[in-house]
Structure 1
Amino acid sequence: MQTLNLLEQQFSNFNAFRLFESNHLESNQRGLALLEQLQTTLDLNELLNKYAMVASKYIEFTGLTFKAESVEATIRGSRQGKIKRQFNLSINGQQLGRLTYSLNAPISGSTEKVMNELHRYLLHPLNNALTYRTALMLAMQDSLTGLGNRRYFDEQLKRAMHQANRSNNKVGLIVADLNKFKVINDTFGHAVGDKVLIHFADALRVSVRDSDSLFRFGGDEFVVLIECAGDESLEVIYHRIHEAVAADGYLEKYQVSCCLGATFMKCGDTEKSFFERADQALYRKKTNAAPLLSLV
């Protein structure tokens, strides 16, 4: 594995613009062509694809993946090669992530030199894309529980319904809220109430698959979005939530319980009608003593 570490200090000998000072026309053309492409986007996937399009003119590879601590991006049409070559990319000693090329043959010394040069142009746009992605995720996240917020739910529901219509898969929703949560807040204070919400969010996390998504709308209302659902998925997840809540000592201490309303997407549903049907199922459970899981 090779590590590329770009140090930026006040008196550093490196200056990105010096890459253009080379007397080699080919080097200048590579840099200019790449920068022109990379400066047009902050989307990580698009950035990687643009980089690959230019890099493929100088490097023969079958696939390219970038992986950081919390994100992974792979170029369109990426295929496994016979060997892999990995580069750690960092700025000021801060690790950005790992760039992995899939290759069918070892690279030459001259090709490696070109790769290192191209990586220098990639570093700053890549860092900008990662920073932008982090800012977007924070804007889509509930600050207390770390779950998605209502804005993120709206985006993910639209995407999931569109994907389900194309692939003929089932999508399910479970809407949940806590029973007598206001009493807990009024009796024990908001610090306890916040901790109850955090523990309930954790109970939801251990109850769903990695492909499912969790959201908090504010207050004590939560939503589970289940993609590629089976006929029994909603029932199974309900029982998992029930078991996780019962097993949590903090929730048990304050006698926390929840109500759940659930539904599958139906033909002709809009995002509004889909969510409202699950929410109505929850309302019926709370007002009419419906079964533990009200499914419509």
Structure 2
Amino acid sequence: MQTLNILENTTPSFNVFNVLANSSAINDKQNMSLLEQLQTTLSLEKLLDIFAMEAARYIQFSGLYFKSEIASKTLRGSRKSKQERHFELKLNNEFIGAITYGINSPISMNHYKDLQRIHKILLYPLKNALQYHQAMQLAMQDSLTNLGNRRYFDDQLKRAMHNANRQHEKVGLILMDLNKFKAINDNYGHSIGDQVLMQFSDVLRTCVRDSDSIFRFGGDEFAIIVEHASEDALDIIQNRIDGALKTNIILSKYQVGCSLGTTFMNRADNEQTLFERTDAALYREKMKTLASLSVV
């Protein structure tokens, strides 16, 4: 059975120091210490770690989860529990998010009050962290397609290669660009060109798994990082893209095609060597495509 509790400040102007001032002398030192720790980071993951250590003083939980319109985070090591207890967090009537505890036994009234107290201390650091997270997401996003941009690609490729080496798994890289995209812009205008780019982005989303990541570098250049890849994963994605280009109304109307370069990471690779090898594969495919089009 799930229970929902709403934690909301009802005073006209909420100030976390009011919480500290109104708390008992026994809790003052703990409150101030928690606030100081929470204010040391803008990382949602680290903020959740710090908060979880304090919450564990009052209740036993097997999982801790935070969800908002901006981000969702799960405490590392969270496990399934018998029950969940939800707390909505609001600051001056503004919904910040919800914290869920996975518990196996009821929460006492005293500990419930302790949770309410530390939730109030969490509110401002949490709001700041969410604003920072949102700003970073926007900085990593292509504004036209909402795909990741080149900066985000560089970060994610490094992470994916590190995880693949550690877990002894395959990671694949696909680089692609559209054939004769400049001609579409020249003949039909940049508005049509933008439509083509957005449609192509949507096609890519339908051709990959949730664990794969798609990026637009700018212009008509795109990339896909394929994690936990099987031997035929890159071929499967390529075949899906080829088929989707033919069935998409907009892309087929303007006869949009694309060239792809695909490569698996090897153990000697770094980010640069993997990218360069994939880029070379893309160049070879591009030359083949251009040669066949010129013959026609």
TM-score, with length taken from structure 2: 0.92
Alignment correspondent of 1:266: 266
Q: Structure 1: give runs of 5+ residues left out of the alignment.
A: none
Q: Using a 3 Å threshold, how does the CA distance of structure 1 residues 19 and 93 change in structure 2: closer, same or farther?
A: closer
List per-residue Cα deviations over 1:178-237 (Å, max 9, x = no partner): 010000011111111111111101100111000000001111000010000000100100
1:4 and 2:7 equivalent? yes
Q: Matched residues in 2 for 1:93 and 1:252: separation?
A: 49
1:33 and 2:33 equivalent? yes
Equivalent positions of 1:1-296 (< 5 A) are 1-7=4-10, 9=12, 12=13, 14-22=14-22, 24-289=24-289
List per-residue Cα deviations over 1:158-185 (Å, max 9, x = no partner): 1111110111100101111101000001
- Aligned to 2:47, the other structure's residue is in SS state helix
Does the 8 Å contact 2:20/2:31 carry over to 1? yes
Greater CA drift, 244-253 or 227-236: 244-253
Q: Matched residues in 2 for 1:21 and 1:152: separation?
A: 43
Deviation at 1:289, TM superposition (A): 4.3
List per-residue Cα deviations over 1:123-155 (Å, max 9, x = no partner): 111111111001001111111111111111011
Q: Matched residues in 2 for 1:77 and 1:271: separation?
A: 30
Q: Matched residues in 1 for 2:253 and 2:10: separation?
A: 52
Q: Structure 2: give runs of 5+ residues left out of the alignment.
A: none
Deviation at 1:94, TM superposition (A): 3.0
Greater CA drift, 222-231 or 238-247: 238-247
Greater CA drift, 239-248 or 41-50: 239-248
- Aligned to 1:147, the other structure's residue is in SS state coil
Q: Matched residues in 2 for 1:36 and 1:24: separation?
A: 18
Deviation at 1:71, TM superposition (A): 2.5
Does the 8 Å contact 1:33/1:54 carry over to 2? no
Deviation at 1:7, TM superposition (A): 5.0
Deviation at 1:96, TM superposition (A): 2.1
Does the 8 Å contact 1:48/1:75 carry over to 2? yes
Does the 8 Å contact 2:70/2:130 carry over to 1? no
Does the 8 Å contact 2:259/2:289 carry over to 1? no
For 1:187, the aligned partner's letter is N
For 1:91, the aligned partner's letter is L
Greater CA drift, 73-82 or 147-156: 73-82
Does the 8 Å contact 1:216/1:222 carry over to 2? yes
**Alignment root-mean-square deviation, CA:** 1.7
Q: Matched residues in 2 for 1:288 and 1:70: separation?
A: 44
Does the 8 Å contact 2:70/2:134 carry over to 1? no
Deviation at 1:8, TM superposition (A): 6.3
User: Which runs of 4 or more aligned residues in structure 1 lie more than 6 Å from their structure 2 counterparts after TM superposition?
Assistant: none
- Aligned to 1:134, the other structure's residue is in SS state helix
Greater CA drift, 191-200 or 243-252: 243-252
Matched residue pairs, number?
288
Does the 8 Å contact 2:44/2:129 carry over to 1? yes
Does the 8 Å contact 1:19/1:28 carry over to 2? no
Greater CA drift, 265-274 or 72-81: 72-81
- Aligned to 1:57, the other structure's residue is in SS state coil
For 1:243, the aligned partner's letter is G
Does the 8 Å contact 1:64/1:78 carry over to 2? yes
Higher RCO, Cα 8 Å, sep 6+: 2
- Aligned to 1:135, the other structure's residue is in SS state helix
- Aligned to 2:227, the other structure's residue is in SS state strand
Query: Taking every aligned residue pair, what percent have the same amino acid on both sides?
Result: 52
